[in-house]
Chains A and B, each alone.
Chain A
Amino acid sequence: MASVASAPTTGPRSHPAGSAIVAARRKAPSWILLGISCAVALVLAAPLVFLLLEARGAGAGTVASLIWRPLTKTLLWNTVRLTVVVTLLCAIIGTVAAWFVECTDLPFRRVWAVLVVIPFAIPDFVVSFGWSSLSTWVQGFRGAVLVMTLAVYPLVYLPVAASFRSADPGQEEAARSLGLGRIQTFVRVTLRQAQGAILGGCLLVTLVILAEYGAFEILGYQTFTTEIFTELQVSFSVATACALSLVLVVLGIFVLGGDLLVRGTGRVVRTGAFAQRANRRHALGHARLPVLLAFVALVGLALGVPIGSSIYWMFQGGAASISGVSILSAGWHTAIYSGSTAALATLMALPVALLAVRHDSRAARLLERSTYLVLAMPGLVIALALSYFAERYAGGFGYQTASLLVVAYSILFFPLALVGVRTSVAYAPVGLEEAAQSLGARRLAVFRRVTLPLVGPGLAAAFCLVFLAGLTELTATLVLVPTGVQTLSTQFWAYQQNYSYGQAAPFALVIIAVAAVPSYVIARYFDRLPAHARRST
């Protein structure tokens, strides 16, 4: 996941000029590919353009008075302090947990490797519901820190674990042989090797916190995103809500820019290129039991509490409160929306990934980079922008339809799809295609019979990643869901808002149960990927 914002490492000049075919292909990507990629980039940029249009519609005076009102200071302070604290905590928990799982002889490590990741699949608003329904202590700032840390630390864990797995053990050995102590080796070598992954994870955590709505609404913690919803609820004005969204987008761009600056400095070198060698695991010794207990505690807090609490409320509500029909109907709509989104987003990501990996050039890189801008736009902002545009400027075309929801989802989750697709495209050596072509196969046949089978598993992973994201999405869905339709998350939300915990809990449990399937597929895929493919993305 860290590779979302990582830059391609090889430039066009680094390739040997030996193969004429390679050189020709690198210089001139097909016009079709370039055209499609540009179209995709335009679609992705559309919400931002709409947003600017709408904010202008609100008028400069309104926007200024909205941004300079007394509440903004509180919102900014709330947003920034939470982001900093949670990102730090996630960085520590994610990195430490990954190190114990990947680099030590922790008992049952394969089990932990799965359990530690699963909280990723539980929506933040369910974690929040699970905790806050149990205790009044979990609210406001402290509640938000607790809930968000437990809900999103896997975003750091996943890339860091992958990086530890593929790290070169030779460097640690060299450091030790040169006289560095254990701790110094850990800080100066091991952590340095994982630095890119840690930063990538932290970036995602930060962006998630900026975009979060449901969890904070439950905890009574005000941030920019909750305030945009409030603005929408009370002020009779989508335009002002859009204007406020701009603040959020600017914050997101700051974070992305900061990440690029920091990332530019590090460089990781292997002692023997591509010579994969198993890491020697550190023996835990007497620390075994305390570490084991810490893992039990982490999984208990992150996984046990939300699930346990949901089961508790379901039985409190009694069987009468469970409506099988509405769960089926909501589940059906959720599956259709998420499935269509996964298909569309994966299709959209394919040309961009091909262009970026196969035809590495300044233009291709710029195009790929521009799609990262989506990361700075929370789901709510994208939803508002599209919905408002459809009703205001497109004569109501697509307004309140499933298609618009799927388009919004696809834009929102495009970066996720790109991660999976890009990895798999990088994993498919271009040489095989060239061989097929030299044997007389046509372009389309090559794509169908060589490229697709090679990138297939990666496409499946991308599909699952996006499907999972759609399954747990709440914010954009609340704005865009067609009239008369409920998804699993909006129905959960409606009941939760009414304090009908007994009726809300089954929906939370269904989401968790369904989410387990794609999470497993993703975990398997990223776990099996050869190290060199992972590194080159």
Chain B
Amino acid sequence: MSRRWRAAVLVVAALGLGVTLAGCGASGSANSITLYSGQHVQTTQSLVAAFKKATGIQVNVRSDGENTLADQIVTEGSNSPADVIFAENSPSLEFLEGRGMLGPVTPSTLAQVPSQYNSPKGDWVGVSTRVSVIIYNPSRIAASQLPTTVLQLADPRYTGKIAIAAAETDFQPIITSVAHTYGRAAAVAWLKGIASNAGSRAYPNNETVANEVNRGSVAFGVIDQYYWYRMQAEIGKSKMHSQLAYFAPHDPGYVIDVSGAAVLKSSGHAANAKRFLAFLVSRQGQQIIAHSTSFEYPIAPGVTTAQPETPFSQLQPNPISIAELGDGSNAIELLKQAGLL
């Protein structure tokens, strides 16, 4: 019996050791940086792998919602294990900048990107862009019946036809854009109209919106264009039962979303972190984005998407600025007032 007892102790000890080792394996060494990434896992992975090949620097990735990560960084304060934050949208970066959490980006890195897509203060750099569009299922609604302006989403004739991922950070810039154009009161009324049109089904993210419209369980929804292309790459052309449509040129719903990255002020590996940022906007980094199946638009001049989607230069978005999009807190407040959050 005592042998069994000893065996049990050994097992427990081995497991304890395993945990300790697993814990150590995850923590950073000198030639590695920690990346908090709100970007899609696949996009991030190919960039991180190429960066390691080029520089030998290991990047430990923590993937989560961008706002979750932004809040984590604030809570962690100077203890934050993160060196770089890579966000899908500008508001979470603006939020961190406003809290004084970001260090300045190297000027040569900023210079790679058109200035309207960088932080106005220079604390984060734009990496890629996407555009908001309508996804619709032609068997559920004809193209001619679709809204041409985002305001029509609240029209009662679309009751039960709309899918919106209210909690998705891609939707917030649209709300900010509407509030910027028409005022807060009109924006709340508009959101309430959407809420009653959308019914009780909750869509946690844009992937779900795209998928449900494609399956025909709902007529149309608002997403960023790349979800549709990613879905097509995933399930194959033969299973695509949905189409994309654009809002009228310069409509408040026609918004460019900028994904960007920044080095944290608290970073203990700032030099390597800055190299990573430079890599993201370098020709090589931008080419990876241009060819990746994430279907985002590369941001640096001279690199265009290799994917068969509407070229960036042909888009006609609402010319709202990064500063006007802000940190998104207004949009969240409006969503709460309308009962969507």
- Considering the chains assembled together, what is the distance between the CA atoms of A336 and B63 in angstroms? 21
- B202–A400 CB distance below 8 A: no
Give the residue of A71, A452, A494 whose beta carbon is less than 8 angstroms from that of B341: A71
Question: Which 8 A/B pairs are nearest by Cβ-Cβ distance?
Answer: A70-B339, A136-B217, A396-B79, A483-B62, A482-B26, A233-B65, A484-B60, A340-B15
Check: B146 CB closer than 8 A to any chain A CB.
no
In the assembled complex, 7 residue pairs joining A and B whose CB atoms fall closer than 8 Å, in A order, are A141-B200, A236-B92, A336-B22, A400-B81, A456-B4, A482-B22, A498-B234
Smallest Cβ-Cβ distance to B338: which chain A residue:
A70
Min CB–CB distance A125 → chain B (angstroms): 13
Of the listed stretches A1-9, A104-112, A220-228, name the one at the interface; the rest are far from the partner chain.
Answer: A220-228
- Considering the chains assembled together, what is the distance between the CA atoms of A484 and B37 in angstroms? 11
B residues near A (Cβ < 8 Å) are 1-2, 4-5, 11-12, 15-16, 18-20, 22-23, 26-27, 34, 40-42, 60-63, 65, 67-68, 70-72, 74-76, 79, 81, 92, 95, 167, 169, 172, 200-205, 207-208, 210-212, 215-217, 230-231, 234-235, 329, 332, 335-336, 338-341
- B169–A234 CB distance below 8 A: yes
- Considering the chains assembled together, what is the distance between the CA atoms of A403 and B23 in angstroms? 7
- Beta-carbon contacts of A114-146 to B below 8 Å, as 1s and 0s? 000000000000000000000010011100000
- A391–B75 CB distance below 8 A: yes
Give the residue of B23, B74, B79 whose beta carbon is less than 8 angstroms from that of A402: B23
Given A71-B339, A140-B201, A226-B204, A396 contacting B76 (CB threshold 8 A): yes
CB neighbours of A494 from chain B (8 A): 41, 63
CB neighbours of B200 from chain A (8 A): 74, 140-141
Smallest Cβ-Cβ distance to A396: which chain B residue:
B79
- Considering the chains assembled together, what is the distance between the CA atoms of A333 and B15 in angstroms? 11
Number of cross-chain contacts by CB at 8 Å: 151
- B12–A217 CB distance below 8 A: no
- Interface contacts beyond A139-B201, A222-B202, A235-B67: sample of 7 additional A-B pairs, CB < 8 Å, sorted by A: A74-B339, A230-B341, A238-B75, A339-B15, A401-B26, A482-B26, A485-B26
Check: A347 CB closer than 8 A to any chain B CB.
yes
Min CB–CB distance A384 → chain B (angstroms): 11
Check: A520 CB closer than 8 A to any chain B CB.
no
Check: A453 CB closer than 8 A to any chain B CB.
yes
- B26–A395 CB distance below 8 A: no
- A69–B76 CB distance below 8 A: no
Within A428-468, the residues touching B (CB, 8 Å) are: 448-449, 452-453, 456
Smallest Cβ-Cβ distance to B192: which chain A residue:
A70
CB neighbours of B92 from chain A (8 A): 236
CB neighbours of B329 from chain A (8 A): 236
- Considering the chains assembled together, what is the distance between the CA atoms of A483 and B155 in angstroms? 45
Check: A254 CB closer than 8 A to any chain B CB.
no
Smallest Cβ-Cβ distance to B204: which chain A residue:
A217
Check: A500 CB closer than 8 A to any chain B CB.
yes
- A497–B207 CB distance below 8 A: yes
- B75–A499 CB distance below 8 A: no
Check: A406 CB closer than 8 A to any chain B CB.
yes
- B71–A483 CB distance below 8 A: no
CB neighbours of B204 from chain A (8 A): 217, 220, 226, 230
Given A396-B79, A498-B207, A452 contacting B5 (CB threshold 8 A): yes
Check: A271 CB closer than 8 A to any chain B CB.
no
- B203–A220 CB distance below 8 A: yes
Check: A237 CB closer than 8 A to any chain B CB.
yes
- Considering the chains assembled together, what is the distance between the CA atoms of A456 and B1 in angstroms? 10
CB neighbours of B2 from chain A (8 A): 448-449
Check: A392 CB closer than 8 A to any chain B CB.
yes
Smallest Cβ-Cβ distance to A343: which chain B residue:
B12
Give the residue of A69, A220, A234, A395 whose beta carbon is less than 8 angstroms from that of B79: A395
Smallest Cβ-Cβ distance to A221: which chain B residue:
B202
A residues near B (Cβ < 8 Å) are 69-71, 74, 136, 139-141, 217, 220-222, 226, 230, 232-238, 333, 336-337, 339-340, 343, 347, 388, 391-392, 395-396, 399-403, 406, 448-449, 452-453, 456, 482-485, 494, 497-500, 502
- Considering the chains assembled together, what is the distance between the CA atoms of A399 and B74 in angstroms? 14
Smallest Cβ-Cβ distance to A478: which chain B residue:
B64
Min CB–CB distance B220 → chain A (angstroms): 15
- A136–B1 CB distance below 8 A: no
Smallest Cβ-Cβ distance to A143: which chain B residue:
B201
Given A217-B204, A340-B16, A498-B40, A391 contacting B341 (CB threshold 8 A): no
Given A136-B217, A396-B76, A483-B34, A343 contacting B68 (CB threshold 8 A): no
Given A140-B200, A336-B18, A484-B61, A233 contacting B26 (CB threshold 8 A): no
CB neighbours of A456 from chain B (8 A): 4
Give the residue of B20, B26, B65 whose beta carbon is less than 8 angstroms from that of A484: B26
- Considering the chains assembled together, what is the distance between the CA atoms of A140 and B217 in angstroms? 12
- B26–A483 CB distance below 8 A: yes
- A236–B76 CB distance below 8 A: no
CB neighbours of A484 from chain B (8 A): 26, 60-62
Smallest Cβ-Cβ distance to A500: which chain B residue:
B234
Min CB–CB distance B74 → chain A (angstroms): 7
Min CB–CB distance A55 → chain B (angstroms): 15
CB neighbours of B76 from chain A (8 A): 391, 396, 399
Min CB–CB distance A383 → chain B (angstroms): 13
CB neighbours of A230 from chain B (8 A): 167, 204, 341
- B167–A234 CB distance below 8 A: yes
CB neighbours of A333 from chain B (8 A): 22
- Considering the chains assembled together, what is the distance between the CA atoms of A484 and B24 in angstroms? 12
- A233–B19 CB distance below 8 A: no
Smallest Cβ-Cβ distance to B14: which chain A residue:
A339
Smallest Cβ-Cβ distance to B1: which chain A residue:
A453
Given A217-B204, A220-B203, A483-B26, A336 contacting B15 (CB threshold 8 A): yes
- A499–B211 CB distance below 8 A: yes
CB neighbours of A221 from chain B (8 A): 202
Min CB–CB distance B280 → chain A (angstroms): 19
- B211–A236 CB distance below 8 A: no
CB neighbours of B208 from chain A (8 A): 220
- Considering the chains assembled together, what is the distance between the CA atoms of A336 and B340 in angstroms? 40
- B70–A406 CB distance below 8 A: no
CB neighbours of A400 from chain B (8 A): 26, 62, 81
CB neighbours of B67 from chain A (8 A): 233-236
